[in-house]
């Protein structure tokens, strides 16, 4: 069984809380530059590609595609009803739906892992080259306005962060007891986050990985993402143990899949809820939601395999 690292769950917990904050409008725009790269880096850190492809694919379908379908289903049903009531095509309804979701990350991560499974089989190909080339190609796709169909452009761009996570696995998973002390991790975290913020503040570029929107300088974008992501990782290492953050991090996939449904409902219920309170309410609602989903439908939200 794969070892769990408390601070990895903490890093995911911080990351998913930042995602909820973004969608609650309780947020600084700068944070968008590293929120999703953080999850791609952490996913790449534990990637295993030495399995037979059939076994690999079954595992990824269970972990990513089935939860994608499950969490996307309420939106699809809403769009079908909308298309029927307004007599428009289901595709038009789906594309222009007013019900947002964040399940794109699951589909994108699935595509990244399939891409990397095959690319990494080429032993002679230096993985640092993959980091540079994938981001370069993704950035070029943005500049050429290549349609981001099924988030494939986002997947190409984010393959760079995923591969970086694999390359820096020893740094990320190094023991907190034998490496730097907590105060050093805090200092390093603050320094990295400060540098990331400084780079963003220069021109405040618009970065949106869901749409592969990479406005700004090539180097600026990738450095903001890397500095911010590792800043959060070292912050998590300095904390090392926090049951609440660990719980949010361990079930970040569930939170990713459901939190926007809650936020959409509360924003349309007629109540003008301040962003901070909307953030607090949503974070609180995640606790019973996680409990219910992992108890009653664990095979649909990636906790247990559906396909044996």
The per-residue pLDDT for range 203-217, each reduced to its tens digit, is 999 999 999 999 989
Query: Are the C-beta atoms of residues 214 and 139 closer than 8 Å to each other?
Result: yes
**Cα distance between residue 92 and residue 90, in whole Å:** 6
Please say if the pLDDT value at position 29 is more than 50.
yes
Span of 13-22, 112-121, 149-158, 175-184 with lowest mean pLDDT: 175-184
Helix (H, G, I), strand (E, B) or coil at 49: coil
Query: Are the C-beta atoms of residues 23 and 267 closer than 8 Å to each other?
Result: no
CA 260 to chain centre: 14
pLDDT for position 138 = 98
Helix (H, G, I), strand (E, B) or coil at 174: coil
- Count the Cβ atoms, other than its own, within 10 Å of residue 52: 8
At 208, phi and psi to the nearest 5? Answer: -145, 100
Please say if the pLDDT value at position 268 is more than 80.
no
Task: Encode pLDDT of 57-103 as tens digits.
Answer: 999 999 999 999 999 998 888 878 777 776 666 666 555 666 678 99
**Residue owning tokens 């996939």:** 253
Average pLDDT over residues 266-280: 84
Domain boundaries, the chain: 6-296
Please say if the pLDDT value at position 222 is more than 90.
yes
Query: Are the C-beta atoms of residues 49 and 121 closer than 8 Å to each other?
Result: yes
214 beta partners: 207
């Amino acid at each position: 069984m794969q070892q769990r690292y408390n601070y990895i769950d903490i890093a995911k917990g911080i990351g998913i809380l930042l995602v909820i904050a973004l969608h609650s409008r309780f947020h600084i725009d700068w944070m968008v530059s590293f929120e999703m790269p953080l999850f791609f880096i952490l996913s790449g850190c534990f990637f295993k590609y030495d399995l037979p492809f059939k076994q690999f694919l079954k595992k990824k379908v269970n972990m990513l595609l089935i939860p994608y379908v499950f969490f996307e289903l309420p939106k699809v049903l809403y769009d079908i009803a909308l298309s029927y009531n307004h007599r428009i095509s289901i595709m038009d309804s789906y594309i222009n739906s007013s019900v947002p979701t964040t399940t794109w990350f699951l589909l994108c991560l699935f595509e990244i892992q399939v891409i990397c499974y095959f690319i990494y089989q080429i032993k002679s190909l230096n993985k640092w080259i993959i980091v540079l080339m994938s981001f370069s190609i993704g950035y070029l796709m943005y500049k050429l306005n290549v349609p981001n169909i099924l988030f494939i452009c986002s997947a190409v761009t984010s393959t760079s962060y995923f591969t970086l996570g694999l390359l820096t696995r020893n740094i990320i998973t190094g023991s907190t007891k034998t490496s730097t002390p907590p105060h050093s991790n805090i200092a390093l975290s603050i320094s990295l986050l400060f540098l990331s913020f400084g780079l963003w503040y220069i021109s405040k570029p618009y970065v949106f990985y869901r749409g592969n929107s990479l406005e700004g300088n090539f180097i600026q974008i990738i450095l903001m993402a890397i500095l911010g992501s590792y800043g959060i990782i070292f912050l998590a290492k300095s904390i090392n143990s926090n049951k609440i953050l660990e719980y949010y991090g361990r079930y970040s996939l569930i939170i990713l899949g459901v939190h926007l449904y809650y936020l959409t409902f509360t924003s349309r219920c007629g109540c003008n809820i301040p962003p901070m309170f909307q953030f607090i309410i949503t974070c609180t609602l995640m606790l019973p939601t996680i409990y219910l989903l992992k108890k009653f439908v664990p095979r649909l939200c990636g906790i247990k395999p559906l396909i044996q």
